[in-house]
């Protein structure tokens, strides 16, 4: 039996449809990339098959691995491959094809093979402590889920008139996949782990058509449809019903498919001249963006496998390219605010939250929160980035750079504020606030550019924050506070 797993990234070769690049496609390429800006981080050899919670999961040199946005952050989980992550957990398969669960380290491995099950079992998705997957027996597949242990395996509700089901993804309790209806594959949705399945196969494709849902997020589902077995697949989007189906297939390409979805974005591939090209959509066929256009000119094929948008609004897209290996696309921004002390992140240490929506750090003795913003261009070849701090006492302030966020971008209580920048911490520059404000760099004072101060040698994401003295008794005895955090995506 063929299931939707037959076309999932990392499991087998994607459809190979032969044709030439049309003039229509060339025009679409030019227009679709005009308004999009993306920075690409090369994660090294292998394939990044998923992204979530500032983590990427995949395979490299025969091992299941996870990255945190850079090639040096690779963590080897052991022989096999990781196919999904929500940031806290990764799932996939061992080299012996055992369903595997990890929590960021090889030592955390859990074999999810249900007790006494001797046939193949696969885990395909993870979110919020739920792992979804399938048990295979002869020609049938049985969809279900785990909650962290082999003994927790539970079958999803049986579907009337369906003798085989597969589940591929889970988010916020919803699960998606496919089932065999009348001998043909149909996209399925389970609205929660105890609900009956919902057939999302478009009515206009009834009879000879097939479909599968490969990804789910916030009430939307994505995957592919196929009008007939001899015709190419079309990227597809649903909003919980068969009637909501949207055909995302761009004009001028041969085939298309969606592998990941998050918020307004869907990612996957289109096929042009028998080669896959990593692709991005935002809800319509006309919104298609060719992500391969942001890769080196010698790239012959590429796949976008997953997408996730963090609290600061930076979008992370996982994938792989030939040549090039595992890659990460980041939406380019001079500086995106996150980890604010205004009630949108971790609570401030002593109830000193700033006004809701202010985007600043926690309130200080002045009755305001300190704000960190940026201007200029974070480009390694033309660095004009400037960090601006304000709303602070006239005291010393230390501008910091981190390699990652703290607590998935929510921060932790630290002094009178929240610590947002984590990982490898570098001190960029110490300044003395005047009229409650300061900036870095100041070329007139002999300051080097931020890229030099932060020893940034490759494109990617960095986190910056300012730590300042606040000696007036106010909150804790620590006598310091912090601004909000900023995420900065560095371009070549």
More confident of the two residues 29 and 201: 201
Confidence band, pLDDT 50/70/90 cuts, at residue 171: very high
Q: What percent of the chain has pLDDT over 90?
A: 83
Average pLDDT estimate for 94-118: 96
User: For 64-68, 210-214, 287-291, 371-375, which range has the lowest pLDDT when averaged over its residues?
Assistant: 371-375
For 128-143, letters b (16+ CB in 10 Å) and e give: eebbbbbbbeeeebbb
Q: Indicate if the pLDDT at residue 164 is higher than 50.
A: yes
Residue 394 CA to residue 78 CA, distance in Å, equals 52
Q: What is the pLDDT of residue 158?
A: 76
In this prediction, residue 160 carries a pLDDT of: 75
Please state, in angstroms and rounded to a whole number, the distance separating the CA atoms of residues 284 and 267: 12
Please give the DSSP secondary-structure letter assigned to residue 158: P
Q: Three-state DSSP class for 341?
A: coil
pLDDT tens digit sequence for 309-341:
988 888 999 999 999 999 999 987 678 999 999
Q: DSSP 3-state assignment of 31?
A: helix
Instruction: Quote the radius of gyration of the chain (alpha carbons, Å).
Output: 24
Q: pTM for the complete prediction?
A: 0.85
Q: Do 398 and 464 form a contact (C-beta atoms < 8 A)?
A: no
Complete domains list, the chain, with CATH: 4-331 (2.130.10.10), 336-490 (2.60.40)
Q: What is the mean pLDDT of the chain?
A: 91
Residue 22's pLDDT is 32
**pLDDT (average), residues 259-276:** 96
CB 242 within 8 A of CB 203: yes
- Rounded Cα–Cα distance for residues 104 and 54 (Å): 12
> Does residue 233 carry a pLDDT above 80?
yes
């Amino acid at each position: 039996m063929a299931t939707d797993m037959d076309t999932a990234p990392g499991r087998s070769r994607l459809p190979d449809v032969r044709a030439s690049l049309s003039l229509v496609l060339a025009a679409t390429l030019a227009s679709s990339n005009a308004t999009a800006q993306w920075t690409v981080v090369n994660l090294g050899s292998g394939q990044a098959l998923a992204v979530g919670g500032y983590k990427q999961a995949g395979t490299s040199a025969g091992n299941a691995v996870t990255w945190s946005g850079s090639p040096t952050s690779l963590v080897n989980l052991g022989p096999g491959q990781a196919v999904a992550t929500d940031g806290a957990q990764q799932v996939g398969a061992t080299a012996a094809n055992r369903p595997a669960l990890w929590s960021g380290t090889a030592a955390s491995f859990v074999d999810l093979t249900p007790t006494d099950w001797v046939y193949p079992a696969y885990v395909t998705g993870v979110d919020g402590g739920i792992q979804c997957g399938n048990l295979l027996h002869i020609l049938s597949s049985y969809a279900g889920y785990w909650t962290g242990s082999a003994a927790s395996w539970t079958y999803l509700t049986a579907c009337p008139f369906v003798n085989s089901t597969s589940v591929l993804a889970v988010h916020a309790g919803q699960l998606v996949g496919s089932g065999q209806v009348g001998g043909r594959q149909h996209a399925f949705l389970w609205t929660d782990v105890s609900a009956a399945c919902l057939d999302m196969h478009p009515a206009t494709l009834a009879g000879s058509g097939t479909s599968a849902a490969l990804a789910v997020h916030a009430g939307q589902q994505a995957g592919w449809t196929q009008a007939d077995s001899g015709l190419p697949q079309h990227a597809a989007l649903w909003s919980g019903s068969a009637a909501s189906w949207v055909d995302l297939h761009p004009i001028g390409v041969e085939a298309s498919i969606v592998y990941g979805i998050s918020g307004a974005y869907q990612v996957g591939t289109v096929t042009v001249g028998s080669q896959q090209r990593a692709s991005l959509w935002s809800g319509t066929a006309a919104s298609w963006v060719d992500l391969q256009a942001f890769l080196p000119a010698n790239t012959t094929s590429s796949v976008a496998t997953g997408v996730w948008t963090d609290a600061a609004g930076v979008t992370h897209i996982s994938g792989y390219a030939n040549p090039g290996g595992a890659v990460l696309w980041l939406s380019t921004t001079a500086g995106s605010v996150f980890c604010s002390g205004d009630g949108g992140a971790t609570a401030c240490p002593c109830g000193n939250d700033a006004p809701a929506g202010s985007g600043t750090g926690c309130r200080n003795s002045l009755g305001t929160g300190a704000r960190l913003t940026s201007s200029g261009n974070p480009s390694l070849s033309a660095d004009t980035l400037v960090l601006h701090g304000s709303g602070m006492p006239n005291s010393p302030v230390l501008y910091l750079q981190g390699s990652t966020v703290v607590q998935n971008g929510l921060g932790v209580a630290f002094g009178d504020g929240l610590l947002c920048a984590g990982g490898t911490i570098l001190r960029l520059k110490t300044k003395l606030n005047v009229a409650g404000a300061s900036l870095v760099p100041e070329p007139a004072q002999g300051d080097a550019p931020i890229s030099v101060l932060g020893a940034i040698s490759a494109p990617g994401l960095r986190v910056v924050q300012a730590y300042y003295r606040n000696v007036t008794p106010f909150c804790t005895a620590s006598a310091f506070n912090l601004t909000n955090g900023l995420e900065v995506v560095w371009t070549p």
